[in-house]
Amino acid sequence: MKKEFWFIVGSQDLYGEEVLKTVASRAQEMASRLSDTLPYPLVYKVTAMNSQQITDVVKEANHDDSCFGVITWCHTFSPSKMWINGFVALQKPYCHLATQYNREIPNDEIDMDFMNLNQAAHGDREHGFITSRLRMPQKIIEGFWQDEEVQRKIARWMRVCIGVRASQSMRVMRFGDNMREVAVTEGDKVEVQIKLGWQVNTWATGDLVKAMNAVTEAEVDRQFAEYQEKYDIATDDIEAIRYQAREEIAMKRMMDANGCRAFSNTFQDLYGMDQLPGLASQNLMSKGYGYGGEGDWKVSAMTSIMKAMGKDENGASAFMEDYTYHLVKGQEYSLGAHMLEVCPSLAAGKPRIETHPLGIGMNRKDPARLVFEGKAGKAIVASLIDMGGRLRLVVQDIEAVKPIMKMPNLPVARVMWKAMPDLATGLECWLLTGGAHHTVLSYDVDAQMLKDWARIMDIEFVHISKDSTPDSIERELAVNDLLWKLK
């Protein structure tokens, strides 16, 4: 599907034809030059002079699936009562670009004609008032449009809008229920559909086994060849790898047939299956499918959405679990991994396929899985939880490091990181928010992007950064409790 963003420029009819022509041609020029720097085209639509034109272009934007969001800009003054009917009807993500065509005030040239043509400072304020008055989810990007920082912000906001659409069209395939007795992976499937658009439904494990049995040996051969090309095979148990191939093909077939982009399963319900999908789930994640272990459909959908928000719509974002700490003074790190299923998009090098016994759960054959170290770099972990009556998205900044030890007997992929502001304070903040042990770890999506996403979806957002303290988080949560009761 074509993906584009619309550029709508505010003006009014008092300026006369000459000025309006100049505004339109500059807007066209800006949209086209900006598009060269952005991941998606910015298409100039109209220089709007009255309420009808604004309402018309909004209706068109709402109706057109290729429009993923609208960006407005006021070259001149544009009285905002003209915008009310359009904004009230607007169903697409919205961004106010507070910029102007010229960078400098031209000392010699400036006169009242120049002032009338170039009054973004004036127009911005009227525009800001009405979006504030309407309590719209506001996104403001400010600065000179040719500056790299401004372009970077627009690009990231566009990726947020890709995440909004991914959410609105999200379908999750659940194989089996949530792990028995676990609280934080539960949630209100009706609420997530109302707020986020997700369709979360269950399919029988027996149906998956049927689909696995229908996979041909030739199909398994092809899948095996793909594994051979992408990964190093470090096991003699070829049958275990072929079994994972069969699982992957069957799960992908069922998901694609039902329009699902994410799935969950649980080691407590593998009826009729010899291996918990490991390599199978990991390779599906590398293709953009979301996954959540132990029936965690919330983290599964978030993984897929955050992948879609990343580079080439399949960024370095992955299902992750906090496992254990290294509490040596000056080397305080968290070690994250999962029973099997960590996405190879996090890998620092070429992943190895290994087989090992499953340490927990039913008596199954040794599942094949990808083993690797996560790469170093700035990242975030994000967790969506159900607070009863509202959804809360918790995001923490982290710094991933090359694992400081080899851990030769650890049979799974691993990522090591330093939580912000430090392990102890960051932990206290995280526990205060109620964030889960399951997260999406991302090198590609940052906290600002998820804040923008949460604002558009109208859910609570809490950010643990280098500046957070338990006191500041506690106060923020208390205020949020009150605000969300009023909503």
The stretch among 124-132, 254-262, 306-314, 316-324 that binds Mn ion (CB under 5 A) is 316-324
Q: Which residue has the tokens 């580079």?
A: 311
**Positive or negative, the Cα torsion across 394, 421, 449, 11?**
positive
Segment interacting with Mn ion, rule: CB under 5 A, options 204-212, 258-266, 317-325, 397-405 = 317-325
- Please, which residue, 247 or 294, has the CB nearer to Mn ion? 294
Cis amide bond preceding 421, omega within 30: yes
CB of 335 to Mn ion, least distance (A): 14
- Beta carbons of 461 and 452 less than 8 angstroms apart: no
Of 2-10, 59-67, 287-295, 468-476, the window that binds Mn ion (rule: CB under 5 A) is 287-295
The type of residue at 207 is D
Contact call for residue 397 and Mn ion (CB under 5 A): no
Residue type, 347: A
Other CB atoms within 10 A of residue 130 CB: 17
For Mn ion, give the closer residue by CB, 69 or 344: 344
Token duo for residue 156 = 């990231």
Give the helix/strand (H/E) hosting 435: none
**Which tokens sit at 54?**
């604004």
Q: Which stretch binds Mn ion (CB under 5 A): 85-93, 124-132, 291-299, 348-356?
A: 291-299
For Mn ion, the closer of residues 248 and 294 by Cβ is: 294
Nearer to Mn ion, 294 or 397 (CB): 294
Minimum Å gap between C-beta 438 and Mn ion is: 6
**Residue nearer to Mn ion on the CB measure, 53 or 300:** 300
**Least Å distance between CB 185 and Mn ion?**
8
Binding mask 126-145 for Mn ion (x = CB under 5 A): --------------------
CB 474 within 8 A of CB 462: no
| Total residues in contact with Mn ion, by rule CB under 5 A | 3
Q: Which of 41, 86, 293, 374 binds Mn ion (CB under 5 A)?
A: 293
User: Which residue's CB is nearer to Mn ion, number 293 or number 403?
Assistant: 293
Beta bridge partners of 135: none
Beta bridge partners of 7: 44, 71
Instruction: Answer for the pair 336, 430: CB distance below 8 angstroms, yes or no.
Output: no
Nearer to Mn ion, 87 or 291 (CB): 291
Contact stretch for Mn ion (CB under 5 A) within 49-57, 181-189, 203-211, 290-298: 290-298
Contacts to Mn ion from residues 401-420, by CB under 5 A: none
Distance in angstroms (rounded) separating the CA atoms of residues 125 and 110: 22
Smallest separation, CB 272 to Mn ion (Å): 22
Q: Does 341 bind Mn ion (CB under 5 A)?
A: no
d(CA 400, CA 110): 52
Measured from each CB, the residue nearest to Mn ion is: 293
Tally Cβ neighbours within 10 Å of residue 87.
20
DSSP 466: T
Concatenating the DSSP letter of every residue in 29-45 gives: HHHHHHHTTSSS-EEEE
Q: Please say which residue, 100 or 439, places its beta carbon nearer to Mn ion.
A: 439
Is 124 or 294 the residue whose CB approaches Mn ion more closely?
294
Decide whether 340 or 457 has the Cβ nearer to Mn ion: 340
Alpha helices in 118-216 (DSSP H): 120-133, 148-168, 189-196, 205-213
3 state SS of 66: coil
Cα–Cα distance list, 6 to 44, 131, 162, 348, 407 (Å): 6, 18, 14, 38, 51
Residues in the chain: 487
CB of 25 to Mn ion, least distance (A): 56
State the nearest-atom distance from the C-beta of 251 to Mn ion, in Å.
18
Binding mask 294-313 for Mn ion (x = CB under 5 A): x-------------------
- Output the DSSP codes for 251-288: HHHHHHHTT-SEEE--TT--TT-SS--SHHHHHHHHTT
Quick one: 220 or 318, whose CB is closer to Mn ion? 318
Give min distance, CB of 184 to Mn ion, in A: 10
Nearest approach in angstroms of CB 179 to Mn ion is 8
Q: How far is the CB of 163 from Mn ion (least distance, A)?
A: 23
Q: How far apart are CA 265 and CA 254, in angstroms?
A: 14
Shortest spacing between CB 83 and Mn ion, in angstroms: 47
Please state the closest distance from residue 297 (CB atom) to Mn ion, in A: 13
> Does 321 sit near Mn ion (CB under 5 A)?
yes
Contact set with Mn ion (CB under 5 A) = 293-294, 321
